[in-house]
Chain A
Amino acid sequence: MRSPASAILSAINAARDSGLAIRWSVTIWPKDRETGVRTAFGFWTGDDPITTSVISGSTGNSETRSYYGGVNLSVPPIPRTSDLTVQSFEISLSQIADAVQTVLRGYDARLAPIEVHVWVLGASGAPVSAPEPEFIGIVDEAGITTPAAGGDGKASMTIVSEAMLMLTRKNPRKRSDEGQKRRSGDRFGRYSNTAGYTRVYWGEDAPKDTTNPPKNGGGDK
């Protein structure tokens, strides 16, 4: 269990009497298509642009970030599970807002790091304390939906947790011949990738096929 900042905790405790004002924000670091440099873009669900200090998802320290407002940002309920499955959810923004177009069309948003923060605002409309990260991940899929005339479109990004995604990667060092033969010439896995295709003929001669002989001599002995 994490312990939120005391100002956030007391705002939540006072919710029954004074209500809460919750805002969401995302920060995304798409890549410049020419230089490859990642640039930070922030969007929040408030109206005016805002520059404030937030808790960085990567360092845990407070840092100053700027957010564009009024871009119809919508963050769905974030899946909270206790297992190791890779969870994904889709945030959506206005497909017409110029800042959103810049991120998705002008920059390369593929696999861009993204952080989602939840903000608890005080009566003044400013965060009671530096907003804390709610989800850290990468952009797995992004698209801009252009609707029929008179319809609502959106720009959406599907976010997955990078940490969970990396758990599904296999370690080739443990299985492949290339990895194993570096250890004192261990060739145990030499035919492992073709063994599954070897045909074995029982009680009969293998067909004489000179144009397409079975590989690795299997069944032809």
Chain B
Amino acid sequence: MAFSFPLAVAALSDILPIESVVWGDQRNDELSGSGDARTWAANLADPLWTAEVGLPPGYHADMKEIAAVIRKLQGPRNSFFLVDPLSRYPKSDPIGSILGSSTVVIDAIASDRQAISLGGLPANFALTRGDKGQVNYSSSPSRTWFFEVSETVTANSGGEVTFEVYPTVPLLVAVAAAVILKKPACKGFIMPGTFKPGTAADMFTRGAGFTFMERR
């Protein structure tokens, strides 16, 4: 198998037996007055998704396999897709069977780029706050927008729904782009120096993990 980067979900994300995760975002704001609570903020760069991933103890052979794929990323050089282990599927569809093979696309983008309208959902499909989604856009390099649903909504009988998202829809994302709601993945890399292959002792390798950072 030839490796093609960014590594697809099946190549790495699916083989990670994630035990613990801190899935958050890194804000890139400048602040003023945070000492006296009259805080002003200005955003210096778009926020990025980040995750601290811990892997459970495992047999040496299994953990060695994971470490081999991660090393193949060559540190921060190559990217991979990581599924948020807390949001593999929408809350209302825990195994993805309702979504089935429906083709979900962006029908419209609000002018302030804080909300999107989706089409092609199953009728009356519910999206819950905290559900995640993925949109691939642009080419060479291809880019990924990993977003979070900010409000709980239900699609109409035609499978259309409008809701606010976080973060802001990138300017290059256009109407008719395909939206992935089943196992949406965030494209990113492993922060330099954070990958620990784990300590092998007795029968198990313990303490493996890494810090993931989105790459836009």
Contact = CB atoms under 8 A, between A and B. Distances in A.
B43 A20 contact: yes
Given A50-B171, A123-B168, A124-B168, A45 B40 contact: no
A19 B41 contact: yes
B192 A15 contact: no
Interface residues of A, number: 21
Nearest to B137: A48
Interface string B136-150: 001000010000000
Nearest to B113: A124
A152 B192 CA distance: 11
Interface in A157-210: none
Say whether chain A's binding surface is mostly helix, strand, loop, or mixed: loop
A70 B172 CA distance: 14
Given A47-B216, A48-B216, A122-B112, A19 B42 contact: yes
Q: From B29, B43, B138, name the one whose CB has the most chain A CB atoms within 10 angstroms.
A: B43
A123 B46 contact: no
A70 B29 CA distance: 16
B45 A45 contact: yes
Interface in B87-142: 111-114, 138
Contacts, number: 58
B170 interface: yes
Contacts of A122: 112
B42 A125 contact: no
A23 B28 CA distance: 12
Say whether chain B's binding surface is mostly helix, strand, loop, or mixed: loop
Nearest to A45: B45
A9 to B, nearest CB: 16
A131 to B, nearest CB: 14
Interface string A16-47: 10011111000000000000000000000111
A125 B168 contact: yes
Given A47-B216, A122-B112, A22 B171 contact: no
B216 A22 contact: no
Given A16-B40, A46-B46, A125-B113, 19 more contacts: A19-B40, A20-B43, A23-B45, A45-B45, A46-B45, A47-B45, A48-B170, A70-B216, A121-B43, A122-B112, A123-B112, A123-B114, A124-B111, A124-B168, A124-B171, A125-B168, A125-B169, A125-B170, A125-B171
9 contacts: A15-B40, A22-B43, A45-B44, A47-B46, A48-B216, A70-B216, A124-B111, A124-B114, A124-B168
Interface of A: 15-16, 19-23, 45-50, 70, 121-126, 150
